[in-house]
Structure 1
Amino acid sequence: MTASIPTVIETNPTKTLHIWKPATWEEYLTYRDDPTTERVRLFFHQGYLLVIDMGGEGINHATISDLFTMLFFIWFNQKPEQIFSSLGRCLIEKPNTKAGAPDLVLYLGEDYPRWKTGESRRIDLNQWRVPNLVGEIADTTLATDLDEKKQLYADFGIPEYWVVDVRGQRVIAFQLQQNCKYKECTQSLTLEGLPISLLEQTLALLNEGTNGSAATWFAQQIANLE
């Protein structure tokens, strides 16, 4: 089966609403493997496809995405015995069923995905385990990040999910329950002992400074955590 790219999905990155369109896995693969397709993030779940143009995300998205990557490094710098790997925006696939490319992807431990020559550059969940944590920087995508993507990551079985609301300056964190549903939490499971409120305080500092100065403040605060 073949599908032309325009019939698979249409998005307008200037709109705040991102629409999932009906599609088959084969149509998803057509979009994924097209050599002319650049700077997009792909999501596929339960017969629906979403394509997000990364070129439309802007300065706020880039600033906060890089901030949270810095926060991961700062947190685990305090815990040198903990092995971690940050693979933000890497495409995660459970072949034939679902796929997603979260802004934040965090693995703990030695069994993190590694690329070898000749292999796919994606995280194939038939080969690797799911991440410990994923997150979305919600600048223009808040509605779908709290709905369809939340369902997607729960279906993947990812233990922790963060939604960083850029405009609301809040971090909404979820932990996976035994019923395979997410429940909002106030303290991180993956970054054990980290209050979600501290992430929100760090985020608020971007009103008056850079992501670098916010990260420096965060480092000072966690040094005082028990």
Structure 2
Amino acid sequence: MSTLPTKLPTDTWVVATWDEFIQTVEDPAYQKAKGYYYKGQMRIETMSVGPDHAKDNGIIATTVTLFGAIKGIPLNCLDNCSYRKTGIRECQPDISYYVGERSQLAPTGTSIANLDVIPPPDIAIEISDSTLADDKGEKRLLYEDTGVAEYWIVDVQKAEIIAFEIIPNGGSRRITQSQILPGLEMAVLEETLRRSRQMSHSQVVAWLLTQFQS
């Protein structure tokens, strides 16, 4: 029998077994929620996505994909894909990328991506409007253990990028340029965010073309 309360606290970490987490994310009431599980705790995010979050999500995904196209770097972008290591952890980054030779390893199908049989993405990105503290804290540890190569946090309110390279033997360190996408500066991504506040996305992309083709 589940020990979870009838009305589950959301947008915070709650002590739960793996079975309780699965029971929750499979509940139709949380069909549109994002689910995370890490070290015996789960977090169900049900906060609505506002226009600023949605716009930043779109322009960052467009920017990274455009960079790959111009530089000839194969990549596959996944939007809000859930990654599950059965019984251990689950995460659902806003954007994730498989890059280079690993681009062909990106999961397909309609089921949750099973990390028991596929590798994790190279880059995981969280768009942080009201979840910044958690994205910099517990989720950073979650992504370190998930085994992504880089973890980026987009601070919607400040139009800033907080990017980390995940160290294989544990931990992470701040970076100002992607190590997975050489030449992609976080400063350019931040300028992209700032310009998107004043310009249409098509105008921003036109500016990006001049940056990436130079």
Answer whether TM exceeds 0.5 for this pair.
yes
Identify the residue that residue 88 of structure 2 maps to in structure 1: 97
Does the aligned pair in 2 maintain the 1:2–1:27 contact within 8 Å?
Answer: yes
Q: Which amino acid aligns with 2:20?
A: E
SS at match of 1:66: helix
Q: 1:3 to 1:90 in 2, by over 3 A?
A: farther
2:57 paired with 1:65? yes
Q: Give, in angstroms, the shift of residue 180 of structure 1.
A: 1.5
Identify the residue that residue 208 of structure 1 maps to in structure 2: 198
Identify the residue that residue 111 of structure 1 maps to in structure 2: 105
Q: Give, in angstroms, the shift of residue 83 of structure 1.
A: 2.5
Identify the residue that residue 19 of structure 2 maps to in structure 1: 26
Bigger drift between 64-73 and 206-215 goes to: 206-215
Identify the residue that residue 162 of structure 1 maps to in structure 2: 152
Does the aligned pair in 1 maintain the 2:85–2:116 contact within 8 Å?
Answer: yes
2:30 paired with 1:37? yes
Identify the residue that residue 131 of structure 1 maps to in structure 2: 121
Q: Which amino acid aligns with 2:199?
A: G
Does the aligned pair in 2 maintain the 1:113–1:128 contact within 8 Å?
Answer: yes
- Candidates 151, 154, 157, aligned match of 2:141: 151
Unaligned runs of 5+ in 2: none
Q: Give, in angstroms, the shift of residue 113 of structure 1.
A: 1.2
- Cα RMSD, aligned residues only: 1.7
- Tell me the alpha carbon deviations over residues 166-199 of structure 1, each in whole angstroms, 9 at most, x when there is no partner: 1111101100114311100011012221111111
In 2, the alpha carbon distance for the partners of 1:215 and 1:144 equals 31
- Tell me the alpha carbon deviations over residues 93-115 of structure 1, each in whole angstroms, 9 at most, x when there is no partner: 11100001000110123222122
In 1, the alpha carbon distance for the partners of 2:145 and 2:152 equals 15
Q: Which amino acid aligns with 1:162?
A: W
Aligned 1:46-85 pairs, distance under 5 A? 46-54=39-47, 56-80=48-72, 82-85=73-76
Bigger drift between 154-163 and 66-75 goes to: 66-75
Q: Give, in angstroms, the shift of residue 48 of structure 1.
A: 0.9
Aligned length: 211
In 1, the alpha carbon distance for the partners of 2:4 and 2:31 equals 16
Does the aligned pair in 2 maintain the 1:88–1:106 contact within 8 Å?
Answer: no
Q: Which amino acid aligns with 1:10?
A: P
Query: Which consecutive aligned stretches of 4+ in structure 1 deviate over 3 angstroms post-superposition?
Result: 1-7
Unaligned runs of 5+ in 1: 12-17
In 2, the alpha carbon distance for the partners of 1:5 and 1:21 equals 10
Q: Give, in angstroms, the shift of residue 4 of structure 1.
A: 6.3
Does the aligned pair in 1 maintain the 2:4–2:16 contact within 8 Å?
Answer: no
Does the aligned pair in 1 maintain the 2:125–2:153 contact within 8 Å?
Answer: yes
In 2, the alpha carbon distance for the partners of 1:210 and 1:147 equals 33
SS at match of 2:93: coil
Q: Which amino acid aligns with 1:127?
A: V
Does the aligned pair in 1 maintain the 2:126–2:153 contact within 8 Å?
Answer: yes
In 1, the alpha carbon distance for the partners of 2:5 and 2:112 equals 20
Q: Give, in angstroms, the shift of residue 38 of structure 1.
A: 2.3
SS at match of 1:174: strand
Q: Give, in angstroms, the shift of residue 123 of structure 1.
A: 0.8
